[in-house]
Chains A and B, each alone.
Chain A
Amino acid sequence: MVEHGDVRVVHRGGSKINFREPVISNDSSFLLCASGENVKVFSTNTEECVHDLRGHTGLVTGVRLRPSNHLQVYSCSTDGTVRLWDFTDGILIKTYVIGYPIYSIYTSANHEGVIFIVTSKSDQGSELFQLVAVQLPQSTEQLVEAREFSAVLPDVSSKPASIDFGRGGEYIASVKGQQLEVFFFKKQKSYRFFLREDNKKGGKNTFTCVVCHPKDDCIATGHEDGKIRLWRNFNQKKEYTYSTMHWHHGAVGSLRFTPEGTNLLSGGVESVLVQWRYNQESEKDFLPRLGAAITHIVVSPDGALFCTSHSDNKITLIQSCVKVSAVIQGLVKGDGVRTDLMVDPHSKAMVLNGKPGHLQFYSLQRDKLLYNLDIVQQEYIHEEGLQQFEVVKAAFTSSGDWLATVEERQQKGAELEINLKLWAFDEQTQSFVLNTTITAPHEARITAMCFCHAAGSQTTMLVSTSKDGHFKAWQLAEPAHTQDEGSSPSWSCDFVGSYHGLVPESCCFSADGSLLAVSFKEVVTVWSPSSWELLTTLSQPPGAIRHLCFGRLSCSKYLLGATANSLLCCWNLLTCSLEWSTAMDTSFLLADPLSENIAAFCDQAGSTDLFVFKPNEPRPLFSQKAVCSGRVTRAVFAPREEMLESCEESSQWLNLSQLYFLTPYMDLMTFSTKAEEENLMASSKQLVIDDSIAMTPFSLLLGKHRQQQENQDPLSFLSAERTPLPHGSVAIKELLQTPAHVLPSTSFLCSMFISSLLISVTDPREEDKHVEEEMESDKENSDEEMESGTLRPEGSVGDQSAQAADPPLTKAQIREIRRVKKLDQGWMSNILDT
């Protein structure tokens, strides 16, 4: 077993952005939301992610603005820390160590220096949650341990929507089950109000959310049966009163008062935002067709901007309750992903089921949904119990020029309808265009589908296996010459194969496309696609083969198969014999397209273990027990944009590509190495956009003038600095990658850009200094350094390398040195360990 201390499972990319309610900054220009282990800062104008606040090592469970400083934000996490960030600059200010997993966080302007968190207390097996006030210690240190706790409410719900502070923080309202509890801080007294479990008409009285009026003593609660109750007079046990408003037919998902308290917003599964007039409840406005059930509603402090989170991992920004101004879409996770995870070779985006009848292309690098491809091309009808076409299979060719999809619909009492569609990549529109539709390609459900991977071969071939006992090969064929010239080539069936009437389960092409392996129950048949000749059969009974996978590169002579009775077999195709086999209940087998590595997810007592190995080596490269609970059936190797130069043995398999997998709870997880994390931390400091200053014409004029003056000197310094950079340097990259709205004025950029191309004679020492900084943070902008002035202490590695290296050292050389250095350390530690 290989130690894997520095590789851990993280949420990165495609995480839920609707997990907790987002936060809108005071000037409405930023939207902060918890996303996996990070806090993302979006610009409300452009929907772009401006910052990614990294630092938590557990799921972020809450984000709140600091009441005393509206440019700072608290975030809490299950890792037991509360962190204070400057979100405009993306800097971690402080870390408060609480020591217990935190489930939500609340702040109140009335309570200076105190935050309220919900933690769990285990009480004889049953988990109880309590609301705790934490006195934040006054200390200048970065890492502070918070010690002063005082319990406020002993039994609360872990849902963040079930607690809210009342007018000016004088009281706190908490709902759980059928109970509303109001705690007055001044009197230190709490009042509890109960509802009956079910009313006579069958409505469920369970509370779902609570929100307090900002000016009046009025508490609004949402209920399971869609009712909203407005509680008043709750400072006494007996004469409390409430009024009921009922519009929602499903449970009320979220409630929010506007900052002045004139309106109440509510939303639920109807995906309609309802605006109730406070004290005039019969008048209400609707904003319908928001796409998916509303889970959170947030209003900006000036009341002009509403923001709704939706169940399909989407955040919608709404201007003054009438216009949807922006949509931030995360990875759509429906009730199930039926296609495999794939990577589109063109856009490097991950492809999977998205909206009903669509494939979504999700860029993992930019953590952004690129586009949805409508596969079914039929209108989706929202109706319960209605069976509609679903995309169940999809496959790309290795070049990405072709996409094959299978959609099916099984109506009650009717035959299964299957369509196989083939899509060609259109260079001009940069998207896929439907080429061929084959209705009923098979008589029964298609079990597997794969393209021939051969890069050099002229023809492209698709093989599909089906429950009807056949596998079919499809080939692109030129149309017959009798037809008119304009028609493009289309796909047609080339070969139908079967083996003793058995049902084929999976199929796989070898890397060079010369062999096709199709598994029939316990038997693996190997075919030659050129002649359709059955070359050989392999079998390892008992147990049907579930997964097949050819080795790559140097291991291409191996064929791996996972059987149903917990056996992983490896055949040598040269000898046609079993090379090795091992007992493991493999739920998913996956080959890295860029290396020889093969990843196997194995079921082990309710949780999944991961093994990464090379077929020709007896020892696994990497193994991790209990990667997640449940069975992993979807995973993908996503090629990295730039190679990682990790030297440690255990994390080398992650150098070329990254392994993503979907847990049964539809969380997209990946593996991250320590080096990678450090890298990310360093690069998290990016270009700062000063959006806090209002963009008036005057300020623009003044700012430009001042900037020009200020930049007289730095400009010359900068131009001197930038000269030795090769093409594609940081400056150019910055220029191209930064969103247009945050770029400085063109006149300023132009001079910088041109000067960066000029070759000037400079002092080598100065150059050296630059290289040093450049290493420290790849994307650092000197312009920003001047302004922010919060330079981190210089890295020791950089120092050493600068000392060791001669002045005209290139970047590549420095990297090489650093790698050697790390290697040395790794080797040393190995020795120390042994």
Chain B
Amino acid sequence: MGEFTVHRVRFFDHTPAAVRALAFHAGSERLALARADGALEVFNFNDNYFQEKVIPGQDGRTVEALCWVGQRLFAAGLNGEITEYDLENLKPRYTVEAYGGPVWTISANSQGTLLAAGCEDGTVKMFEILEKKIQFQRNLDRQKGRIVSLSWNPTGSQIAAGLMDMIRVFDAETGRATHRLLVDRGVGTSKSQEVVVWSVLFLSDHTIISGDSAGKVQIWDGHTGTLVRTHLVSKWDVLALAVSQDEDSVIAGTSEGTVIQFQFLSSTVAQQDKEWVRTRTFKNHSHDVRALVHTETAVVSGGMDTQLVVRPLLDRVEKNTMESSLRKIAFPHRSLVCCAKKAGLLLFQFPEHLELWRLGEGEGHGQAGDSLPVKRKPEKLIHLKRKGDDQICCSALSPCGGWMSYSTVSSVRLYRIQFDDNNISIIKVSKLPKSLCSVHRLGFSPDSSKLFASSSHSSVVVVALNQSECKHLSTLKPKSGSRQPVHLLVASEDGKWLATANTACEVHVYNLLTMKLHCTVPVFRSCPTAIGINPVTSNLVSVHADQQIFEFSLLQKEYTEWSRKLQKQGLHSLWLERDTPVTHVTFNPRNPDHILLHDTFMFCIIDQSLPLPEAKSPLYNQMMLRSLPEADRVRHSHAFKISKNFQHLLCVSLLEDLSLVVVERPLLDIMSQLPAPVRQKKFAT
């Protein structure tokens, strides 16, 4: 596998924000996720749960509720505005003030014509959804107390609203309240506290299901407004409810971190009379479950512990397949770390600020596995706070360490960093070309002479960097005319090629000498998660969300022999079963056969000179190989050399002196920063 000096970096305090809301679009199998800091993420469930898009948040704009209307995504928050997002340019398209105080919830009817918003002042406001915007239509009967939850009847004729201490049912036509369902308060000391109906569901058979802060899931008859059943599921709050498409299963998320399933079952096998029965309990969260989605095959939950959990329902999926395994998504699927290979600097991106660190230095030599004494400790050089309300969406550091750039939704900033002796000065480059305004991805050329910035319509703006000024060189545009944003941007070592990948799964390669599109790699069905250009052979290696690996020769404009062989033989099943995407591809400049890859849980060197692993041979065989005598090692070794020594990897990068930088963020460190969960009595404690 080769030996490296490893910089094991654990000072990146990346802490994701809590999950606040989830919305699932069944047609395109896309899940929209809102975090507590206002950031939105879009996951493609068809493409191995890949995090396709990230829309950064904005100060003062929180998201309380999400709602898909067709392919359009709406969000509302406590700032009292309803926002529609532009998923192509990854920014809010427009916001509409609801004029009802903070908006707690929004819900669209199944026809996609009306959007209801529940406001703090007790009104349910109806908005008409038009082609380009939404327009206020009218208010429903105003209630005392805030509207916390809303649910449309699938026919669109009625709407149920959860308030404090009660549920109201409105006629959507007339706007009159037709039923008033009083919800019991909790017992004991919580008797004096009013109960919050956190979530309400209106089913097509006029059953209303509510979850409230007294820990109850209640089932009501919507025709008569009577209580049918009460399930006490928690000592604390029931925060979220979700129903399956065919309305035979309901899930409820509680403050205890449990998700409880209710199923609509007939009590005797042959008969038709069905009732809601509490069945399974899932405990995959340590903290509150704030948002739930019930897909056809799985329970998707998110909450305070920042993880998105996809728990397949084993009665709905084939057993022992990829689909039937539990999946926890804890880390972003894009890189937040930028490494200056020449200068030995690390740039960490936070939503609020950037941090520039200098790597430490070790001394002496040791055996494999030894930890070397540290001569110089790592040092935080710059802590750069962002300007403006918008959060940082991308950042880049030039390989020489002299340039640093970041971008928000609205603006791009470029800094010149100068090191003289022990002083570091940072100068903002004031004059930037106008074309750099809305950028999704930033990158520097290996010689630090050019800045690449991906812009709308998958175009890339190339800016020439100079001590004195920055000049717009060119705008590279693909021929396909795709409107999807670019999420990967890589320039080759020799400065000749620039490769981009967008969420429409297209990979374009530009020739930087001619500033023209060189070629387009054949579109694969799965989105690329990492691309890299081999500095020696000029082959483009792309790794996709479904874990496939391709190697494309830029000179011949065709897949290489190795790539064809790999596709013919197929990847090892254990490789395909990994559940986190590869987020970096780099190369060893000394040995062009080596491709370095990593995902969250492993770090791999693919040696193209070695045979591919057989389907039956063990994939993770590094430990076994070490125990074998030298002669046998060759026979047993294969192309995939995988190390699991480092876990929860955010970045693996090879410096110029061939030492490896490994940025880890242990999950336990994130957990320890979370607030304490609700107290629960544990047996025998």
Contact B268–A241 (Cβ < 8 Å):
no
Whether, in the assembled complex, A244 has its beta carbon less than 8 Å from a beta carbon of chain B, the answer is yes
- In whole angstroms, what is the CA distance A283 to B231 when docked? 10
Contact B279–A232 (Cβ < 8 Å):
yes
Whether, in the assembled complex, B315 has its beta carbon less than 8 Å from a beta carbon of chain A, the answer is yes
In the complex, chain B residues whose CB is within 8 Å of the CB of A241: 261, 263, 265, 279-280, 315
Whether, in the assembled complex, A88 has its beta carbon less than 8 Å from a beta carbon of chain B, the answer is no
- In whole angstroms, what is the CA distance A240 to B232 when docked? 23
Which of A214-222, A702-710, A780-788 is the interface stretch? Answer: A214-222
- In whole angstroms, what is the CA distance A591 to B164 when docked? 85
Which of these, A217, A239, A240, contacts B268 with CB under 8 Å? A217
Whether, in the assembled complex, B639 has its beta carbon less than 8 Å from a beta carbon of chain A, the answer is no
Contact A283–B280 (Cβ < 8 Å):
no
Which of these, A170, A235, A243, contacts B279 with CB under 8 Å? A243
- In whole angstroms, what is the CA distance A281 to B266 when docked? 18
In the complex, chain B residues whose CB is within 8 Å of the CB of A218: 267
Contact A281–B683 (Cβ < 8 Å):
no
Contact A243–B277 (Cβ < 8 Å):
yes
Contact A242–B267 (Cβ < 8 Å):
no
Whether, in the assembled complex, B65 has its beta carbon less than 8 Å from a beta carbon of chain A, the answer is no
Whether, in the assembled complex, B269 has its beta carbon less than 8 Å from a beta carbon of chain A, the answer is yes
Q: Type the 1/0 row for B308-326, where 1 means its CB is closer than 8 Å to any CB of A.
A: 0000000110000000000
- In whole angstroms, what is the CA distance A249 to B685 when docked? 13
Whether, in the assembled complex, A167 has its beta carbon less than 8 Å from a beta carbon of chain B, the answer is yes
In the complex, chain B residues whose CB is within 8 Å of the CB of A235: 269
A-side interface size class: 20 to 34
CB distance from A387 to the nearest CB of B (A): 23
Whether, in the assembled complex, A803 has its beta carbon less than 8 Å from a beta carbon of chain B, the answer is no
CB distance from A359 to the nearest CB of B (A): 35
Contact B232–A233 (Cβ < 8 Å):
no
Q: Type the 1/0 row for A227-252, where 1 means its CB is closer than 8 Å to any CB of B.
A: 00010110100111111100001000
Which of these, A240, A249, A281, contacts B278 with CB under 8 Å? A281
In the complex, chain A residues whose CB is within 8 Å of the CB of B279: 230, 232, 241-243
- In whole angstroms, what is the CA distance A732 to B280 when docked? 66
Contact B269–A283 (Cβ < 8 Å):
no
- In whole angstroms, what is the CA distance A240 to B314 when docked? 10
Contact B278–A243 (Cβ < 8 Å):
yes
CB distance from B184 to the nearest CB of A (A): 15
Contact B277–A232 (Cβ < 8 Å):
yes
- In whole angstroms, what is the CA distance A235 to B268 when docked? 10
Given contacts A238-B315, A282-B232, A282-B233, contact A243 B281 (CB under 8 A): yes
Q: Type the 1/0 row for A132-169, where 1 means its CB is closer than 8 Å to any CB of B.
A: 00000000000000000000000000000000000100
Could you tell me which residues of chain A, from 324 to 378, have a CB within 8 Å of some CB in chain B?
Answer: none
Given contacts A215-B267, A216-B267, contact A242 B280 (CB under 8 A): yes
Contact B233–A240 (Cβ < 8 Å):
no
Whether, in the assembled complex, A279 has its beta carbon less than 8 Å from a beta carbon of chain B, the answer is yes
Which of these, A167, A244, A281, contacts B280 with CB under 8 Å? A244
- In whole angstroms, what is the CA distance A283 to B265 when docked? 21
In the complex, chain B residues whose CB is within 8 Å of the CB of A282: 231-233
In the complex, chain A residues whose CB is within 8 Å of the CB of B316: 238-239
Contact A244–B269 (Cβ < 8 Å):
no
CB distance from A531 to the nearest CB of B (A): 64
In the complex, chain A residues whose CB is within 8 Å of the CB of B268: 167, 215-217
Given contacts A232-B279, A282-B233, contact A240 B267 (CB under 8 A): no
Could you tell me which residues of chain B, from 117 to 141, have a CB within 8 Å of some CB in chain A?
Answer: none
Residue of B with least CB distance to A226: B683
Could you tell me which residues of chain A, from 656 to 706, have a CB within 8 Å of some CB in chain B?
Answer: none
- In whole angstroms, what is the CA distance A281 to B233 when docked? 9
Could you tell me which residues of chain B, from 273 to 307, have a CB within 8 Å of some CB in chain A?
Answer: 277-281
Q: Type the 1/0 row for A623-652, where 1 means its CB is closer than 8 Å to any CB of B.
A: 000000000000000000000000000000
- In whole angstroms, what is the CA distance A279 to B233 when docked? 12
Which of these, A170, A232, A249, contacts B265 with CB under 8 Å? A232
- In whole angstroms, what is the CA distance A218 to B269 when docked? 9
In the complex, chain A residues whose CB is within 8 Å of the CB of B231: 280, 282
- In whole angstroms, what is the CA distance A241 to B279 when docked? 7
- In whole angstroms, what is the CA distance A433 to B315 when docked? 67
Contact A243–B280 (Cβ < 8 Å):
yes
Contact A232–B263 (Cβ < 8 Å):
yes
- In whole angstroms, what is the CA distance A215 to B232 when docked? 23
CB distance from A585 to the nearest CB of B (A): 48
Given contacts A239-B315, A282-B232, contact A249 B281 (CB under 8 A): no
Which of these, A230, A240, A244, A280, contacts B315 with CB under 8 Å? A240
- In whole angstroms, what is the CA distance A280 to B278 when docked? 9
In the complex, chain B residues whose CB is within 8 Å of the CB of A230: 279
In the complex, chain A residues whose CB is within 8 Å of the CB of B229: 279
CB distance from A223 to the nearest CB of B (A): 15
In the complex, chain B residues whose CB is within 8 Å of the CB of A167: 268
- In whole angstroms, what is the CA distance A238 to B232 when docked? 28
- In whole angstroms, what is the CA distance A384 to B263 when docked? 42
Residue of B with least CB distance to A239: B315
Residue of B with least CB distance to A283: B232
Residue of B with least CB distance to A242: B279
Q: Type the 1/0 row for A698-733, where 1 means its CB is closer than 8 Å to any CB of B.
A: 000000000000000000000000000000000000
CB distance from B273 to the nearest CB of A (A): 11
Residue of A with least CB distance to B278: A243
- In whole angstroms, what is the CA distance A571 to B278 when docked? 78
Residue of B with least CB distance to A247: B683
Q: Type the 1/0 row for B249-271, where 1 means its CB is closer than 8 Å to any CB of A.
A: 00000000000010101111100
CB distance from A260 to the nearest CB of B (A): 13
- In whole angstroms, what is the CA distance A216 to B266 when docked? 9
In the complex, chain A residues whose CB is within 8 Å of the CB of B267: 215-218
Contact A233–B683 (Cβ < 8 Å):
no
Contact B269–A217 (Cβ < 8 Å):
yes
In the complex, chain A residues whose CB is within 8 Å of the CB of B280: 241-244
Q: Type the 1/0 row for B672-685, where 1 means its CB is closer than 8 Å to any CB of A.
A: 00000000000110
Residue of A with least CB distance to B266: A217
Contact B265–A233 (Cβ < 8 Å):
yes
Q: Type the 1/0 row for A733-770, where 1 means its CB is closer than 8 Å to any CB of B.
A: 00000000000000000000000000000000000000
- In whole angstroms, what is the CA distance A150 to B56 when docked? 71
In the complex, chain A residues whose CB is within 8 Å of the CB of B315: 238-241
- In whole angstroms, what is the CA distance A235 to B269 when docked? 7
- In whole angstroms, what is the CA distance A244 to B265 when docked? 16
In the complex, chain B residues whose CB is within 8 Å of the CB of A232: 263, 265, 277, 279
- In whole angstroms, what is the CA distance A242 to B277 when docked? 10
CB distance from A101 to the nearest CB of B (A): 35
Residue of A with least CB distance to B233: A282
CB distance from B243 to the nearest CB of A (A): 16
- In whole angstroms, what is the CA distance A280 to B231 when docked? 7
- In whole angstroms, what is the CA distance A279 to B265 when docked? 12
Residue of B with least CB distance to A240: B315
Q: Please indicate which of the listed interface residues A170, A216, A249, A280 has the most CB atoms of chain B within 10 Å of its own CB.
A: A216
Contact A233–B233 (Cβ < 8 Å):
no
Which of these, A238, A244, A249, A280, contacts B683 with CB under 8 Å? A249
Given contacts A217-B269, A283-B232, contact A233 B281 (CB under 8 A): no
- In whole angstroms, what is the CA distance A197 to B622 when docked? 31
Could you tell me which residues of chain B, from 422 to 472, have a CB within 8 Å of some CB in chain A?
Answer: none
In the complex, chain B residues whose CB is within 8 Å of the CB of A239: 315-316
* 10 A-B pairs whose Cβ atoms sit less than 8 Å apart in the complex: A216-B268, A217-B266, A232-B277, A238-B316, A241-B261, A241-B280, A242-B279, A242-B280, A279-B229, A282-B232
Taking A230-B279, A243-B279, A282-B231 as known contacts, 14 extra A-B pairs with beta carbons closer than 8 A to each other, sorted by chain A number, are: A217-B266, A217-B269, A232-B265, A232-B279, A233-B263, A233-B265, A239-B315, A240-B315, A241-B261, A241-B263, A241-B279, A279-B229, A280-B231, A282-B232
Leading 9 A-B pairs by shortest Cβ distance: A216-B267, A243-B279, A241-B279, A235-B269, A282-B232, A217-B269, A239-B315, A217-B268, A232-B265
B residues sitting closer than 8 Å to A (CB atoms) are 229, 231-233, 261, 263, 265-269, 277-281, 315-316, 683-684
A residues sitting closer than 8 Å to B (CB atoms) are 167, 170, 215-218, 230, 232-233, 235, 238-244, 249, 279-283
